[in-house]
Structure 1
Amino acid sequence: MIQGKKILYLTYDGLSDPLGQSQILTYLSGLSKLGHEITIVSSEKKGNDGLISTIKEDLRNKGIEWVNIPYTKSPLVLSTMYDVYKMQRACKKLCNKKKYDIVHCRSYITSLIGLMLKRKFGLKFIFDMRGFYADERIDGGMWNQSSILYRFIYRFFKNREARFLEMADYSICLTDDARREIHNWKSIPGQPLPIQVIPCCADTNLFNYSLFDPEEKKQLADELSIDKEDIIISYVGAVGTWYMLEEMLDFFVRLRIRYPASKFLFITHEDQRSISKHAAERGIPTENIIIRKVNHKEVPLLLSLAHLSLFFIKPVYSKRASSPAKQGEIMSMGIPIICNSNIGDIDQIIRDSNAGAIVRSFTDEDYDFVISQIPQLLKEPKEKIRNAAIEIFSLAKGIKKYNDVYKNL
């Protein structure tokens, strides 16, 4: 058995956040089982005290050390700088006590610290970039370039991005499209850089349509006033910024023309009033919109009621590096996906696996064309779609890829 590595894992996303629970903890728990000695440093938001205690106990039982730094919300920019200072101080203290082999940094903020630790303590540095962080902030309207401050911040992180990629012993991105793009950045020395592609993986054991018996599903359908003849199209996750609520509702308007007995099931933590308001503006009856807020483990049962799942993502440059966690979860449930093109590897995966249909433009004509394919989509075997998800998005596959990177350093 190959001896495990001592890993210092840094994340500015909290373990008590939904993403921390569904992605970070599952990966690191699996890597710990493979023999790696893991210490996590994260930034945790106020109000999650009960959950933090539960996570701490769970990690202790798994032999994973956890140092959590309180997240500072404001003032903007200065609060992040202060959090970086606190995390850096905690990391130096840890490195003075223990000899780590690797500092594994999730995204750009923590990589500022990771690069320092590589220089000061001789650690191998993994730049787990996730998406194109600085470009996402521009495309999402979060860093307004009419502001001198945000122009400076954007240039700073674009320069750091190149430096992280150059200095990293290994980099990780979410899509093949992003890797191809990075390999075309000729200004960075050492091309082609060592990059592993690991998409956002799904817990295919949790998201499994065969776990739910018909009576359980019927009881939930009755609670939601879903009739046997209804066509249910679902949406999972946050709306706004990247996810195009209004266009998705426009699609649903066209769907109801062909399938009047259709209902749109939103599984989201978002404010229900915004969804209801936009639906009402389009003349969608309230009984055709179902909105439910549930914890992550309750999502699969709700999803099991859906015949189709829909998501539209803003098609901008930074989304070449995007891998929505929802894609693997939906496909694991054997549900065909309707989504738009030019987002990471999504359309390539759907084409290769026959797991859905692609909207080329946000027009009634394209919506109607995709809607005409629904009878065929509903005939696709659930098992076939699920098997494609297991091949591409399973946690086991993601953990193996991370383990391969660790072993190579």
Structure 2
Amino acid sequence: MKVVYVSYDGALDPLGSSQVRPYLEGLAGRGVALSLVSFEKPARWRDAEARTSLAARLARHDIRWRPLAYHKRPRLPATGWDLLAGARAVRQEVERTGAGLVHCRGDVAMAMARWARLPPGVRILYDVRGLFADERVDAGSWAAGSPLDRVVRRVEAANLRRADGVVALTAAGLDALRRRRSELPPHRVIPTCADLSVFRPRAPGEPPDYGLVYSGSLGTWYMGREMVAFARAAAAFVPGRPLFLTPDVEEARRAGAAPDWAEVRSVAPAEVPAWLRRGRALFFFIRAVPSKRASCPTKLGEALASGLPVVCNRGIGDLDTILEGGTVGLLVDSFSEEDYARAARRLGALLRDPALPGRCRRLAEAAYSLESGVEAYHQLYLELRPAPAGG
């Protein structure tokens, strides 16, 4: 089977290395002939060593790479230029390889495929990474009903109408898509997954060095001050200093993660798994706006794979369902001191259960492993495979 994979994120970006390349390598291992069209940031493209290393790695997996230049400013003309360049590249790759399926990661990639004037019979998989217009409104980037908002929503609607297959990150996100198109084409819920060979629990008998751990960027969606307040409240119930692993060190300090009680570190992505293993539990609070029902934080699968329970607030993706039972983590009902103390007390009790790391790991293996994600994509590819000519 031949597939053209389109990503508006760069293969050289951290996201590309964690959420694009591993899936492509897994699919290539299942016999899928892949061409990758990606948009690379100029600063990362200038790193000749990284560029050459990635090209060689993709070539070892027989993945053809068609990198294009990403343009950022001015925003609308730059994106329009990239759309045209992407549409042209997608069509060329389909014609060159004879691919019968174009896999589009996100709305911009999907628009490229729609504009590519693909040969008859070529199918398009719409891999929805979030409800983009809703997210921009929730973030305050633009107003609901503004001219830009209306244009983006028309693009999203056209993308969904054209899709021959759909992937959503969460069941709640899939429900939102059903409200926009009642009869969805073949579809799957595939959450953001983790490489279980990289994210793994501590060795038996190895003591943790930290208590609560936060991992990731801060700002926009993540509630830094509330997370700091919870970490302080949890200190009486969760042994060990809290650890904030974030590139936004100064923002963490401004939120109140002071050196006298919390550790804040910026580490390379490759070092994150080892640091996670040194904690007792992962926690994060995200603004529970409507668009976040379609989100699945990458750190969820990474924590569970590392044997860590997860603490978060309600209203994010499918986490209410996943954590409600309290066997692999728990939900904080509100951002009050009373609910912080109640959740911290429950977490302290949960951490005393010696079977906890194993339960977390088993859930990761069942639902958040890279292997399970690759297999889900492969099965959907097979379902969307064009029928043989004359068949």
Find the counterpart in structure 1 of residue 252 from structure 2.
275
**Residues 311-349 of structure 1, C-alpha deviation per residue, up to 9 Å, x if partnerless?**
001101111100111000001111111100111111211
Report deviation, 1:47: 2.2
* Correspondence 1:176 to 2:171: yes
The range that moved more, 350-359 or 393-402, is: 350-359
Task: State the partner residue of 1:355.
Answer: 328
Unaligned stretches of 5+ residues in structure 1: 222-230
CA distance in 1, matches of 2:374, 2:169: 14
Partner of 1:81: 80
Residue 395 (str. 1) matches residue 370 (str. 2): yes
Q: Secondary structure at the match of 1:171?
A: strand
Note the residue ranges of structure 2 that are not aligned, 5 or more in a row.
Answer: 385-391
Q: 1:209 touches 1:300 (CA, 8 Å); kept in 2?
A: no
1:337 aligns with 310
Letter in 2 for 1:295: A
When residues 105 and 212 of structure 1 are mapped into structure 2, their CA distance, relative to the original with a 3 A threshold, is farther
2:200 aligned with 1:208: yes
1:133-178 Cα offsets, whole Å, 9 max, x none, are: 1111111222345xxxx92222122122222222211011000111
Give the direction of change, closer, same or farther, for the CA distance of 1:352–1:166 in structure 2 (3 Å limit): farther
Q: Is the 8 A contact 1:117 1:123 kept in 2?
A: no
Residue 57 of structure 2 is matched in structure 1 by 58
1:121 to partner: Cα distance: 4.9
SS of 2:72's equivalent?
coil
Where do residues 308-387 of structure 1 align in structure 2 (5 Å cutoff)? Answer: 308-352=281-325, 354-380=327-353, 381=355, 382-387=357-362
Match for 1:163 among 158, 163, 178?
158
Structure 2 residue aligned with 1:46, among 42, 49, 62? 42
* Most deviating of 258-267 and 73-82: 258-267
SS in 1 for 2:192: coil
Query: 1: distance between equivalents of 2:362 and 2:60?
Result: 32
Conservation of the 8 A alpha-carbon contact between 1:311 and 1:338: yes
Partner of 2:228: 249
**Aligned partners of 1:91 and 1:212: how far apart in 2?**
49
One-letter code aligned to 2:246: T
Cα drift, residue 99 of structure 1: 1.4
Instruction: Tell me whether 1:91 sits opposite 2:90 in the alignment.
Output: yes
- Match in the other structure for 1:25: 21
1:130 CA drift (Å): 1.3
Structure 1 SS opposite 2:99:
coil
Deviations along 1:32-85, whole A, 9 cap, x unmatched? 010010000001112222322211110011100001111112112211111112
CA contact 1:234–1:303 (8 Å) conserved in 2:
yes
TM-score of the superposed pair, with normalisation by structure 1? 0.87
Q: How far does residue 373 in structure 1 lie from its aligned partner after superposition?
A: 0.5
| Structure 1 outlier segments of 4+, above 3 Å | 117-122, 210-214, 259-262
Q: Which moved more, 1:156-165 or 1:308-317?
A: 156-165
Distance in 2 (alpha carbons) for counterparts of 1:101 and 1:120: 9
Q: Note the 1:99-110 alignment, pairs <5 A.
A: 99-110=98-109
RMSD over equivalenced CA pairs, Å: 2.1
Instruction: Confirm or deny that 1:239 pairs with 2:218.
Output: yes
* Residue of structure 1 in register with 2:273 after alignment: 300
Preserved contact between residue 269 and residue 293 of structure 1 (Cα < 8 Å)? yes
Whether the aligned pair in 2 keeps the contact of 1:212 and 1:301 (CA below 8 Å) is no
2:263 maps to 1:290: yes
Structure 2: distance between partners of 1:139 and 1:259: 34
1:122 to partner: Cα distance:
3.5
Matched to 1:194, the amino acid is P
In the superposition, the TM-score normalised over structure 2's length comes to 0.91
Query: Over residues 209-229 of structure 1, what are the superposed CA-to-partner deviations in whole Å (9 max), with x where a residue is unaligned?
Result: 146984xx78xx5xxxxxxxx
Deviations 1:17-46 (A, max 9, x none): 111111111111000010010000001112
Matched, 1:199 2:191: yes
**Contact residue 171 and residue 189 of structure 2 kept, 8 A:** yes
